[in-house]
Amino acid sequence: MKKKIAALVASCALALAGCGDADVIMEAVRELESVLEEAIPGEESGEEANEESEETTVPAAEIDPAGTYKNVSMMFDAVYILNDNGTYDKTYPEEKGTYTVEENGDLKLKENNSSAITYIAHGSYYYRGDRKISSDEEYGAAVSFDENGRSSQTFETTFISQDNGQSIGYELTLREDGTFLLQEEVGHMDGGIMIVQDGDSFEGTYAQQGDVLTLIWQETDYEILYLEGNLYYDVIEKETDENAQELEARLAALEAAENAKYELVDEALAAEIRGKLQGVWEYSEGAVSYSIQFDGDHISVSSSVGGYGLSNQGTYEICRDLLLITYDSGGQATMDYTYENGELTIQRLVGLTD
């Protein structure tokens, strides 16, 4: 091959030096190009070589998927445990099912007696493609960040149904000064209409870099993926020795905030609120009527619809953000409340049991 290339180069050189006519020159050049393409990979053959190299790597589907996966966003605190036998266990809320790994590395989870969901692989993350934000709340404008990773938009997630009959959604406000507000929205149906009330709120700073939007709350980072103009807010990551502490810290901070709502207020404040509670409170949701009577530390709850009624009795405690009700039957319920400037407002009962 080397001798053939050398001979052709010589022919081209002689022709270009005037020792041959134009037809000879072109024929020599074409033959040289043909030989060089065979001997030296060009752009196309280089790509093929890269493809062959990629094919020698371990396919994503052959990587062991078993392990613990934890949510890295603020909106969810789910933990998935993928077992070696193709089954999985989920917490918050509890769920069991089977899983498979697609050729591209995506995780497909199928809850028992339910349809499958897919977590799409992206680097070390996996995200749900159906839980995304594509535009802002005010204008319907596309999600956007400036060169400093700043935005001045407000976004809303879809509502996710909960086991207690409520639906939870979030409103995320990103400000130009690099701060954010994440407001939980709690919805319930009343006569076919969704009634929405504010739940927990989180404030902190944020940073957008590349395909990750990081919300920083209580010195803890929470990630949302920013891909092709969309924000994906249900994101999990597999636990490893390197990231275990960070993943646990995220969930621990959220759990601590949730537990804080159940901290009892001091006795002086409890006495004030208890005094405001005494008596009967009534409200309706669609065709269902509720009557709640407070008598000292005791509570009686009854509901009725179409002549059929339920009732429960028990005691209640006054916590920081809610009334925690414990029925004599062992069941529990909560009622959110606000107490400002001597005015008490209580919200609907959640968790009424037989």
Q: Which fold has domain 60-127?
A: Lipocalin (2.40.128)
In which residue ranges of the chain is pLDDT below 50? 2-22, 24-26, 29, 32, 35-37, 39-58, 61, 352-354
Q: 60-127 and 267-350 share one CATH topology?
A: yes
Name the pTM for this structure.
Answer: 0.72
- DSSP state letters, 149-217: S----EEEPPPEE-TTS-EEEEEEEE-TTSEEEEEEEEEEEETTEEEEEEEEEEEEEEEEETTEEEEEE
Tell me if 198 sits within 8 A of 183, measured CB to CB: yes
Q: Is the dihedral of CA 164, 166, 170, 171 positive or negative?
A: negative
CA 269 to each of CA 296, 334, 344: distance values in angstroms, whole numbers, following the listed order: 15, 19, 12
Name the residue among 145, 116, 111, 140 with its Cα closest to residue 129.
116
Q: Report domain extents, the chain.
A: 2-55, 60-127, 132-233, 267-350
pLDDT at 213: 98
Evaluate whether the domain defined by 267-350 bears CATH number 1.20.140.10: no
Alpha-carbon distance of 236 to 71, in angstroms, equals 4
Which secondary structure element, helix H or strand E, spans residue 275, and what is its range?
Answer: helix 267-277
pLDDT at 114: 84
Q: Which fold has domain 132-233?
A: Lipocalin (2.40.128)
**Phi, psi dihedrals of residue 24, rounded to the nearest 5°:** -65, -40
Q: 159-170: per-residue pLDDT in tens?
A: 888 777 788 999
